[in-house]
Structure 1
């Protein structure tokens, strides 16, 4: 095999992968979103990879890698280090093909991810406190047990499988002239950019990373941006991008954009509200980038991959409620009152007059900077829109109350 990464991943490799995995993974729909197109000022086509059996595109690359192994390697089994979608995709297709699958995860991995991986046939080994420690242990087990390591992204076969996403998108929406694709380790965009450069050389191929994890951007541009933190897009929270994928991206990707947490939350919320589809933070990164950079993408025909839908339900609920708060439909108003009979009742009358619904009331008498006869009350409320809420606040202030809103971070 050639040592040149550009020769290890070509359109022929992706087409061969497509033939190999046909019928074993979902050919998910590519659909025009009229509403998101109106919002973005561009034509938005969505590829619903969150509808795969394991709710992520990772199945494609894992299966393509498995199908090219010898019978001997399959019989011994495969191993990977992953606490994400790769672990489920590899476990599901490995088990389906009769291949023993071992997944090493950090001990800090949420129980639900362990259970999801085990439910599709993977044997989970918990080792280390960080992904790096889990990865090192997986490499150790690979040698000790004679297993075959299947990397989640830094592998030509895995990237070729991921590239089949682009083949399907261009088949169903040949007018696409721009891919905006999430980057974690770089497997997905490596495969997709390979297809784009071969079939549509003039196409824009834009990568997207979370602002907190700009590792690929740093590597490509030769910078050293801070990398780390709690991001909604944990599926692309990669500190060390792949060496193989970096070489592909350097040659075949036009630019890498960074998106903040607010933009990711907004995109996840919009996809649920408008498309009625559940997408994890990483899967919404492409839409987040388009909405955050309207001038750059105006008028383009854009293909976005909703690459995964595995998001914790409690986290999803928080994202939706925070979006309602940012839009002015939910709010917490902090009001200073005198601690005397009827004080709260008179405030309630203002809420009633403006038809703003009260959800919760919190009284605080002790831990305040007010005099002993003063109190602070926090009122969580629900309004029709920002204008209705602003009218209530204005009325309270006109009535002599000191009112402030408790803002989100």
Structure 2
């Protein structure tokens, strides 16, 4: 029975290498959600993840003969770092099999702790199969990342600390789920001491192996596993972890990649620390739970499980946060191809903050505009906007939840100019980033010259930047630039820019 884990957790030896991490009050998030939100900061461990606890506790339970054979593990990164540190401390040889998709920051961290790294497969399960092969061929001792009682007990010390640190029972604790080791360990301890506290697992919607198992009433394997939250990219919940979880956990919530990105930003704003996607899962779960249930005044705790993410991944995370908060919508709108239609469209949008604007002349009839713009969360504002566009004669398609549009199409809108496009001049324009400046620019151009290409993106900086193509006959060029001077934004003529000629101008230019 799960209560047998209490003694294991109390006896777990983790503090030779792990630290007791704080429970921090998330003031900004508490105010936004009208609940008391707490963060258990496992991202502050020496290896920036809770996984050190289970790995070290398991290593302590091995016999001397088992250690002498060397240890091997399969891991997407955090268990690998924990085991590498434990092995280094105990002077044991360690081999870690990691998926090729593991972020470089995790691979380098494991190597820096003296472990041998073998990159194999694209998922945890492929790496695990190779690790099992090494056990069979070389007699090494396998240390499972989650499906082992000693590993579960080590992770359960997180729950023990929460009970000691918070003192009063929480209303709910939200725990990220990959293979289930952390959730099983925390649930075993917390439910024994605080039976009234809800234990809620949170999974990525594209790696929801626990949800699948609960729906089927048995362990089952996902046919595909999303890799964005690499720390939770597991196709099948553990056998032992599922045995514990199904008896003790109240529910499981799934969240999208965009919601994880938004939660990473939330954690940063409250702590000035950057969680990895899996590390922000639990907070994303709290936000989803509050929105669904409408609870107010509850004490809700999220375990921030890790902070191992590549720096260059932050660009993608930053781009998706507003969509994850439902504060940005992405639309495709059909507008008539005539002088002034751009300006009219912007007036219909009003003073909304535009985050992205992509357009390219196609033919003389109509054109497609790919636009990102701010909306009020909740869905009503977006529905009102779509209705307003329709009433104004525009055909609009909501692409906010379209992954192909967000990941690819938004960067591919445009292409080479058609052969019948005459007299295109290209200008790069810079303007102060505040509502209304884009409309001011378009209004300033007037209706005399046709806009044939337009690209604008807001990156949250003090200045916005536009690349615009305009059909300006040679005799009008001086007058057109006088108009630009009158608008007052800095600009430069990029018509001879080789990048324009290669990718956007007429073929053969």
- Contact 1:32–1:45 (8 Å) recurs in 2: yes
Query: How far off is 1:305 after superposition?
Result: 0.8
Aligned with 1:202: secondary structure?
Answer: coil
Query: How far off is 1:115 after superposition?
Result: 2.6
The equivalent position to 2:302 in structure 1, one of 299, 304, 320, is: 304
Higher mean C-alpha displacement, 54-63 vs 132-141: 132-141
Aligned with 2:17: secondary structure?
Answer: coil
Report the equivalent of 1:103: 96
Residues 222, 338 of structure 1: alpha-carbon distance in 2 compared, 3 angstrom cutoff: closer
Report the equivalent of 1:204: 198
Query: How far off is 1:309 after superposition?
Result: 1.6
After superposition, the C-alpha distances for 1:25-59 in whole angstroms (9 at most, x for unaligned) are 12211112233223333322211111112211001
Tell me, yes or no, if structure 1 residue 15 matches structure 2 residue 10: yes
Query: How far off is 1:90 after superposition?
Result: 0.9
Residues 201, 148 of structure 1: alpha-carbon distance in 2 compared, 3 angstrom cutoff: same
Alignment of 1:371-382 (within 5 A): 371-372=363-364, 374-378=366-370
- Contact 1:163–1:191 (8 Å) recurs in 2: yes
Report the equivalent of 1:58: 51
The equivalent position to 1:176 in structure 2, one of 155, 169, 174, is: 169
Residues 349, 407 of structure 1: alpha-carbon distance in 2 compared, 3 angstrom cutoff: closer
TM value normalised by structure 2: 0.66
Report the equivalent of 1:291: 287
Aligned with 1:304: secondary structure?
Answer: strand
Residues 349, 43 of structure 1: alpha-carbon distance in 2 compared, 3 angstrom cutoff: closer
Equivalents in 2 of 1:113, 1:206: separation in Å? Answer: 27
The equivalent position to 1:234 in structure 2, one of 230, 235, 245, is: 230
Equivalents in 1 of 2:346, 2:178: separation in Å? Answer: 52
Higher mean C-alpha displacement, 53-62 vs 196-205: 196-205
The equivalent position to 1:244 in structure 2, one of 226, 240, 243, is: 240
- Contact 1:103–1:123 (8 Å) recurs in 2: yes
Contiguous gaps of at least 5 residues in structure 1: none
Aligned with 1:103: secondary structure?
Answer: strand
TM value normalised by structure 1: 0.81
**Aligned-residue CA RMSD (Å):** 3.6
Equivalents in 2 of 1:123, 1:254: separation in Å? Answer: 37
Aligned with 1:293: secondary structure?
Answer: helix
Report the equivalent of 2:77: 84
Report the equivalent of 2:426: none
Contiguous gaps of at least 5 residues in structure 2: 402-509
Aligned with 1:21: secondary structure?
Answer: coil
Query: How far off is 1:365 after superposition?
Result: 1.9
Tell me, yes or no, if structure 1 residue 257 matches structure 2 residue 252: yes
Count of aligned residue pairs for this structure pair: 390
Residues 257, 275 of structure 1: alpha-carbon distance in 2 compared, 3 angstrom cutoff: same
The equivalent position to 1:192 in structure 2, one of 177, 186, 204, is: 186
Tell me, yes or no, if structure 1 residue 40 matches structure 2 residue 36: no
- Contact 1:176–1:302 (8 Å) recurs in 2: no
Higher mean C-alpha displacement, 77-86 vs 371-380: 371-380
Which structure has the larger Rg over C-alpha atoms?
A: 2
- Contact 2:43–2:304 (8 Å) recurs in 1: yes
Report the equivalent of 1:280: 276
Equivalents in 2 of 1:266, 1:128: separation in Å? Answer: 30
Residues 343, 297 of structure 1: alpha-carbon distance in 2 compared, 3 angstrom cutoff: closer
Report the equivalent of 1:267: 263
The equivalent position to 1:408 in structure 2, one of 400, 406, 431, is: 400
Query: How far off is 1:169 after superposition?
Result: 1.5
Which structure has the higher relative contact order (CA within 8 Å, separation 6+)? Answer: 1
- Contact 1:212–1:226 (8 Å) recurs in 2: no
Aligned with 2:253: secondary structure?
Answer: strand
Query: How far off is 1:343 after superposition?
Result: 6.7
Query: How far off is 1:211 after superposition?
Result: 2.9
The equivalent position to 2:311 in structure 1, one of 310, 313, 326, is: 313
Query: How far off is 1:314 after superposition?
Result: 3.8
Query: How far off is 1:12 after superposition?
Result: 1.9
Alignment of 1:343-354 (within 5 A): 346=343
Aligned with 2:301: secondary structure?
Answer: strand
